Amino acid sequence: EQLDAVCVGCGSPLQSEDEQAPGFVPNSAVGKANVLCRRCFRIRNYGEFLPVQVSERDYQEQVAQIFDNPGLVLYVIDVFDLSGSLVPNLARFVMNSEVVVVVNKVDLLPKGIHYEALSDWILEQVRATRVEAQEVLFVSAATTEGMTRLFHRVNGVTDKPIYVVGMANTGKSTLLNAIAKRFEVQNDPYTVSRRPGTTLALSKFQVEGPTGSITFVDTPGLVHGTRVIDRLCADCLKRAVPDARIRPRVYQLNPEQTLFLGGFARLDFEAGVRQPIVLYISNQLPVHRSKLERADNIWEQHRDDILEVPCGACRSSFDDLKALPIQSTRTRERVPNGTIPVSGRGRDIVIPGLGWITLSGAAFRGRLWLPNWLEPVLRPRLV
Ligand code: GDP
């Protein structure tokens, strides 16, 4: 059925096909007057923020409002998927705002992380996109770990809006809910701006801080479409994406052995010295060690019974692998182009969305196999 009405809360055209898209209403609301879309309904009635996802074009239009009315931007990043959290073209919209990078989901990180090194690395990656962030805050919106520092940071910001920006699934809604709860917002706390005709107006809420009222502005979440999480069913997600603190898994690997990270990645150790390889990935993801000479056979014959994830239905996205040479160098010896270099101090090889592999820096020559659309990222060791 064609709906031509708009939500009286946010102005999004009403539709009942896509629950994730703006303006969704259940079929039962079709044809009624003064309808709120489900998102606005829940915001109004339960004081609850829900993720909303929009197309890239609508997204740009939304965030352009930040440029017109600059403020403080809380840029929410998923600690497990930094490259997948970077918002395309954000720089030009926030160039006149202050930007604080809020690194979320730190409850998943293992113990013993060097937060300073992580912070430096994240700032470097964010600045490489020309977003001039000055500060990194580590939080868990889910456990509220680190949230006190965030509240201190925003408490005095009474003279300009605070925008919460982030790609879909970085935890932006969870963060907003945690903020609302901290300030104990009750009784119709959220004013959802009325802007009929726009795809979705930015929704705002005000809270009373120690020195005056603070305005938070929610922005939609942009869907990447090219992350691991975008390509998995619910069951595979549960096993592949970390949802509890990661317990590092250490493998003493000999040359001519292979490690499989489920059916997502494969690390071949061709030559070098026996050494510990540490995996920081979901505790639920099966890891299999085999002889290198058996590895092709396992990949071809045993993805269901040994590697298990992704399932047969999700597998097509992960079928075509590329092999990236890896080489550790104790000296300043050059590695061939296209090779992943591992320095003497070791390196984390990050597989965005899945976790990372730490190589110790001991002599290693081998290959990392990854889905051909997934780019690994090198990082100094965090642990
Ligand atoms: P949004 O799309 O950015 O609004 O993200 P949501 O708030 O809907 O969160 C996306 C997913 O990440 C959900 O499965 C949340 O439960 C999860 N999540 C959000 N914040 C945290 C966090 O601090 N820690 C963990 N472990 N998971 C989180």
Q: In the chain, what percentage of residues exceed pLDDT 90? A: 62
The pLDDT value recorded for residue 240 is: 96
**In terms of residues, how long is the chain?**
383
Locate the ligand 1 atom nearest the alpha carbon of residue 170 and give its number. Answer: 3
Residue range 59-114, pLDDT digits in tens: 888 899 999 999 999 999 999 999 999 999 999 999 999 999 999 999 999 999 99
Tell me how far the alpha carbon of residue 306 lies from the centroid of ligand 1, in angstroms: 30
Average pLDDT over the chain, rounded to whole? 88
Tokens 């923020």 belong to which residue?
49
Residue range 145-175, pLDDT digits in tens: 999 999 999 999 999 999 999 998 899 888 9
Residue range 3-30, pLDDT digits in tens: 568 887 777 788 888 887 788 898 887 7
Q: Assign 121 a pLDDT band (cuts: 50, 70, 90).
A: very high
| Per-residue pLDDT at 332 exceeds 70 | no
pTM given for the model? 0.87
Q: Assign 217 a pLDDT band (cuts: 50, 70, 90).
A: confident
174 touches ligand 1 (CB under 6 Å): yes
Residue range 285-303, pLDDT digits in tens: 999 999 999 999 999 999 9
SS3 (DSSP) at 149: helix
Locate the ligand 1 atom nearest the alpha carbon of residue 174 and give its number. Answer: 7
Question: Which residues pair with residue 137 across a beta bridge?
Answer: 102
Instruction: Specify whether the CB–CB gap between 10 and 42 falls below 8 A.
Output: no
The pLDDT value recorded for residue 3 is: 53
The pLDDT value recorded for residue 222 is: 84
Backbone phi, psi, residue 370, to 5°: -135, 160
Q: Which position has the higher pLDDT, 273 or 329? A: 273
**According to CATH, what is the number of the domain 47-222?**
3.40.50.300
E strand intervals along the chain: 53-54, 72-78, 98-104, 135-138, 162-166, 190-191, 203-209, 212-218, 221-222, 249-253, 257-261, 265-272, 275-281, 287-291, 321-328, 340-342, 347-351, 355-359, 364-371, 377-379
The structural domains of the chain, with segments of one domain joined by +, span 47-222, 245-379
Residue 260, phi-psi category: left (phi > 0), alpha (psi -120 to 50), beta (remainder): beta
- CB-based burial label for 97 (10 Å; 0-12, 13-18, 19+): buried
Question: For the chain, where are the alpha helices, taking DSSP H only?
Answer: 38-46, 56-68, 82-85, 91-94, 115-127, 147-155, 172-182, 234-240, 292-301
Residue range 307-318, pLDDT digits in tens: 999 999 999 999
d(CA 9, CA 31): 16
- CB-based burial label for 75 (10 Å; 0-12, 13-18, 19+): buried
Locate the ligand 1 atom nearest the alpha carbon of residue 53 and give its number. Answer: 2
Instruction: Specify whether the CB–CB gap between 104 and 76 falls below 8 A.
Output: yes
d(CA 363, CA 139): 36
The pLDDT value recorded for residue 13 is: 83
Residue range 218-227, pLDDT digits in tens: 888 887 778 8
The pLDDT value recorded for residue 2 is: 45
Instruction: Specify whether the CB–CB gap between 170 and 162 falls below 8 A.
Output: no
Tell me how far the alpha carbon of residue 255 lies from the centroid of ligand 1, in angstroms: 39
The pLDDT value recorded for residue 369 is: 98
The pLDDT value recorded for residue 199 is: 44
Residue range 345-376, pLDDT digits in tens: 899 999 999 999 999 999 999 999 999 999 99
E strand intervals along 311-363: 321-328, 340-342, 347-351, 355-359
51 touches ligand 1 (CB under 6 Å): yes
SS3 (DSSP) at 109: coil
Q: Which position has the higher pLDDT, 280 or 45? A: 280
189-222 in b/e burial notation, b at 16+ Cβ within 10 A?
ebebeeeeebbbbbbbbebeeeeeebbbbbbbbb
Minimal-distance CA residue to ligand 1 atom 6? 171
Q: Which position has the higher pLDDT, 3 or 122? A: 122
- For 252, other C-beta atoms within 10 Å of its C-beta total 10
141 touches ligand 1 (CB under 6 Å): yes
**Around 82, how many Cα atoms within 13 Å sit in the side-chain half-sphere?**
26
Average pLDDT over residues 41-56: 72
Tell me how far the alpha carbon of residue 364 lies from the centroid of ligand 1, in angstroms: 37
Minimal-distance CA residue to ligand 1 atom 27? 105
**Cα-Cα-Cα-Cα dihedral sign, residues 340, 116, 178, 15:** negative
Minimal-distance CA residue to ligand 1 atom 20? 171
**Cα-Cα-Cα-Cα dihedral sign, residues 309, 314, 316, 322:** negative
